[in-house]
Amino acid sequence: MKKFRFLFWIIVSLLIIVSSNDAIAQRQGVVKGVVSDNQSKKPLPFANIGVKGTSFGTTADDEGKFSISLTAGNHTLSFSYLGYNTVVREVELDNEEVDLKDIKLNGNNSIEVSKDFTELHIFGK
C-alpha cells in the first residue's frame, strides 16, 4: 500500500511539473499604444483595455499609454473610457511587440450636467 501511495505522489508531481512547463513555454507578445481623444488629441488617462472573451485586461497610465502581454495568436481588444464610444481592434500576435500607436476614441455626448450642478441627465443610444 505504501508503494502505491508513493507512486501516486510521484505521478502527481510529474504531472504538475510537465503542465507548468507547458504554461511557461507558451509564446508571448506585447501590445502597446496610447489611448486619446479623437478631437482634442489629448491622452485619456486610465482608459480601460480589455481582451474580448476573457476577464483579462489592463488600464492605461496617466498619459494614456498602455502595454499588455498576451499569448501568441489572434486577440480582440476593446478600448473604453467613460463618456466615449468603445473602440474594438483585432490584433495578431506572434513572439513580438505590436505598437498600435494612437487609439482614438470619440466622445458620445451622452452626459449632460445642468449649470447649477444639481441635476445629472444621462441619455443612452
Contacts of 38 (CB under 8 A, 6+ apart): 104, 105, 106, 107
pLDDT value of residue 113: 53
CATH code of residue 100: 2.60.40.10
% of the chain beyond a pLDDT of 70 = 69
| Model pLDDT for residues 93-121, shown as the tens digit of each residue | 988 899 999 999 998 865 555 556 566 66
**pLDDT class for 80, splitting at 50, 70, 90?**
very high
Is 86 inside a domain boundary? yes
DSSP three-state, residue 86: coil
Residue 86 clears pLDDT 70, i.e. is over it? yes
Domain that holds residue 48: 27-105
